[in-house]
Structure 1
Amino acid sequence: MKAMVIAALALVASPAVHAAGPEAGRWSFTLFGGVDTPVSGDVHTGATVDVPDLGPLNPALAGVAAQLRIGSRSHARVYDMATVGGLSVARAVSDRLEWFGDIRQTRASRGRLQVGDAFVPALNTALPVYGGFSAYKATSIEGGARWYFMEAGAARPYVAARLGATRTDDIKATFEIPDAGITIPDAPFYSSNWAVSAGVDLGVSVPVSARGSFVAETGIRYVDSLDGDDSAIGPLGLASINDTGRRVSVPLTVALRWDF
């Protein structure tokens, strides 16, 4: 990101500023980076299941029953804001329309939070259950069209639509009931998979040299459901909680574009 800012300042300092941007028949290359904030979608849904014997999870609790009460937890609560970066290539059909294709990586640090509780009738109390989820890592390959509202000017606003696929790396989860001495470490939760992704962009391109532009963009992104792995949580009756994973987010990026 620092390198992009330095390059942008260097372009701004060039003596002549022209109407860079789409020009029929020309190609362009763009380097972008920023943040991506989830606004909808769950990492897991909720479920309530009876566990007749906690002994397999902690031998000291053999014969003790409990009720697991897991609540839904969103991408925003588990991962919060992610970083995003990538490359884009476009070819202009006219001075206002271009087709583009890009590759983008999205990453968010691992998250840990309370995901529910375990009610133990013998103690007449509820013990907190915590979940720790490995980092969210996704790679998107998408293409689409971008329409500029004007052919020239100090700033060129545009709208774009995109469609493609996103590969999300596998996600593991560690579940803990500290007060009961129970830990299920690194349980498979989602398997790596490809899913449909799409989005709409709104942005503005500001020419800073004969062929260079500084671009700011936002929009909305959608990634379809992930591939749940029930090998560890299925025997607990929680197989349904990872039948989700879809993600809706709002990116905010800046970019350097070069037309050639």
Structure 2
Amino acid sequence: MSVAVTACSNRLRKPASVFLFLSSLLLIAPSLADAEEGSVSLPMRDRLTVEPYAGTTFAVGGTVLREFSEVLTQSANVGGVPFSTALGFEVRERDFSDVFETPQEIGVQLNYGVSDLSELFGGVSYMRAAGKSFDALLFTFTGTLGGVPVAVGSTLFGEFEDYQEFAANAGFRRFLDLDSGFHPFVGASIGARKVSAIDLNFRHSSNGVVIDDVGFYKPSLAYMVGLQAGFRYDVSDAIALGVSTGVNYRSQLRQDDSEVSGFREFHNGNNDGDIIDIPVSVRLTAKF
């Protein structure tokens, strides 16, 4: 149940990267676009548009770590480190935002106009979030951890490795024509996700015990469904900018208990891994 954080140079952590990404799109989009007259912010019947985007999500529900408590009746083991008999602890429930930094996401979609106000879309995306330190276990009965005494009230901190998700999605949007360059829309989507394995690193608050690379979730294939709302605004005959938000449900991940033994409740801490989130993205739409 522990996570090793990857090198900072590999993280998409800075908001500036989103603006650099969108700025580069503004420079290259005219070369991809058709110079025909018309509103690119609305679907074009039997025509394709390309829509790269960048943004983030804000978790509002779901469970990454379940709440439980336990007093050991036998010796147990996590990642090769023994927990002594009679050692007791409790674990609070944690959602995605409790244990991960705010994610960053980039993606691209192809849109196909089925009418002057409706379109189908499909695309791919990549999302990453760095793990952050949190109180994983609060010890409620004394014992030993790795042969080192543990005091009541001390804490075993945890930090997950980076959350990484590759996804493919498809969906439908319906637009409102306001006889202007500003066009709101609503939509729905469904997708498949490939989430990398997630490990958890532990360190005790005072006695120096460290437990690294404990499996928490296995590599997982899961699904997501979502509702969308947003708008596009024409900035030229070939390019539109837009903003999209909504709500997504990302389904459960596969638990990994391979490095945990001797517990009654510890195995149930990772039975979920689902996320309810609100995505926010900035988008550029261009004609082929």
Residues 101 and 56 (structure 1 numbering): CA distance in 2 closer, same or farther, change over 3 Å? closer
1:37 and 2:58 aligned: yes
Q: CA deviation at 1:221?
A: 1.2
Distance 2:28 2:220 in 1: 41
Residues 133 and 9 (structure 1 numbering): CA distance in 2 closer, same or farther, change over 3 Å? same
The equivalent position to 1:242 in structure 2, one of 270, 274, 279, is 270
- Which residue in 2 is equivalent to 1:147? 174
Aligned residues: 258
1:191 and 2:212 aligned: no
Distance 1:186 1:239 in 2: 16
- Which residue in 2 is equivalent to 1:23? 44
TM-score, L = length of structure 1: 0.88
- After TM superposition, the structure 1 = structure 2 runs for residues 181-260 of structure 1, keeping only pairs within 5 Å, are 181-237=208-264, 238-260=266-288
Is the CA contact (8 Å cut-off) linking 1:164 and 1:196 kept in structure 2? yes
Query: Could you tell me which amino acid in structure 2 is paired with residue 198 of structure 1?
Result: V
* Equivalent position SS for 1:39: strand
- After TM superposition, the structure 1 = structure 2 runs for residues 1-260 of structure 1, keeping only pairs within 5 Å, are 1=18, 2-5=20-23, 7-8=25-26, 18-20=38-40, 21-52=42-73, 65-121=86-142, 125-150=152-177, 152-237=179-264, 238-260=266-288
Is the CA contact (8 Å cut-off) linking 2:202 and 2:212 kept in structure 1? yes
The higher-RCO structure (CA 8 Å, 6+ apart) is 2
* Equivalent position SS for 2:59: strand
Is the CA contact (8 Å cut-off) linking 2:101 and 2:131 kept in structure 1? no
Residues 234 and 258 (structure 1 numbering): CA distance in 2 closer, same or farther, change over 3 Å? farther
Distance 2:62 2:114 in 1: 36
* Equivalent position SS for 1:42: coil
Compute the RMSD of aligned alpha carbons.
2.9
Is the CA contact (8 Å cut-off) linking 2:127 and 2:164 kept in structure 1? yes
Distance 2:279 2:63 in 1: 18
Distance 2:59 2:70 in 1: 29
Is the CA contact (8 Å cut-off) linking 1:140 and 1:164 kept in structure 2? yes
Residues 31 and 73 (structure 1 numbering): CA distance in 2 closer, same or farther, change over 3 Å? same
Residues 24 and 64 (structure 1 numbering): CA distance in 2 closer, same or farther, change over 3 Å? closer
Moved more, 65-74 or 179-188: 179-188
CA shift digits 1:124-181 (9 cap, x unpaired): 7222121111101111111010100117422011011001211111100112334344
- Which residue in 1 is equivalent to 2:15? none
